[in-house]
Copies of this chain bind each other. A is one copy, B any other.
Amino acid sequence: MRELAATVDEIPAFILDMDGVLYIGEAPIEGAAEAVEWLRERGKKLVFSTNNSTNTRGAYVRKLARMDIRARESEMVTSAYATALYLRRHSPRAKIYVIGERGLKLELKWAGIGLVSYDRADEATHVVVGMDRTVDNKKLTGGLRAILAGAEFIATNADATYPTETGLSPGAGAMVGALVGCSGRSPKVVIGKPSPRMIKIALGALGSKPGETAIVGDRLDTDMMAGKRAGLTTILVLSGVSKKRDVVKFRKKVVPDFVIESLRNLMVS
């Protein structure tokens, strides 16, 4: 662990994935709040990141506050926020048809992006698809018709599932798959991890370079993959989705620089 201690000591900026690192659902992971405070005391710059597109950044600040984790909205990078920034930069006059929840719509609105409703779906320049627990046939129909009328297909992320108290539930990948299945098109852009776009936005928020930054996450297939692709130091925690056996299974695709039980194990120096 001397090597981890040296790395943590040297690296000034950390991207902390939230789900599986700080909490699972509404349950905080033991020692996570202390570890975040420990990083802050050492003057580390932090960004909190999630592929989940259903909540606003403010909602995550409040969620972390309930777990005694201090965070500012400017430290939050969600796939909804990253999608809004992407669109503001590449298509400031976009008109978006959204399949997604309220948090996604709010982040788009706050970025000054125009939204169109079902009745005007054929005027949409883009269809943005995220996880949507209120998805129905009408929403899908609007997305299908917008894409057939020429709108660009963008996914906030493509996570297949997410863990809930009662078991795995369909993630954004289900909504993306539904649109692929009826439109015959694939998303032109996927914003969330493992795409490097989220990482770029996180680096922008941190004001740091890849070589000065570590990503701490619980998923080999998103967090660790995205981190490696972007040239970050990668630290896998085993408190979430990926387990020790997965590290072996995944070793041809990505090998994290460090594997630790949970975030508290960062406090080694």
Interface on A for B, CB 8 Å cutoff? Answer: 132-137, 140-141, 144-145, 148, 158, 160-161, 167-171, 173-184
Contact = CB atoms under 8 A, between A and B. Distances in A.
A144 to B, nearest CB: 5
Contact of A175 (B134, B160, B168, B178): B178
B182 A161 contact: yes
So how many copies of this chain end up in the complex? 2
B136 A170 contact: no
A181 B160 contact: yes
7 contacts: A137-B170, A144-B168, A145-B168, A148-B168, A160-B181, A177-B179, A178-B178
Contact of A137 (B133, B144, B145, B181): B133
A160 B184 contact: yes
A167 B147 CA distance: 13
Given A140-B174, A177-B180, 10 more contacts: A135-B136, A140-B170, A141-B170, A144-B168, A148-B168, A160-B181, A161-B182, A170-B181, A174-B179, A175-B178
A170 to B, nearest CB: 4
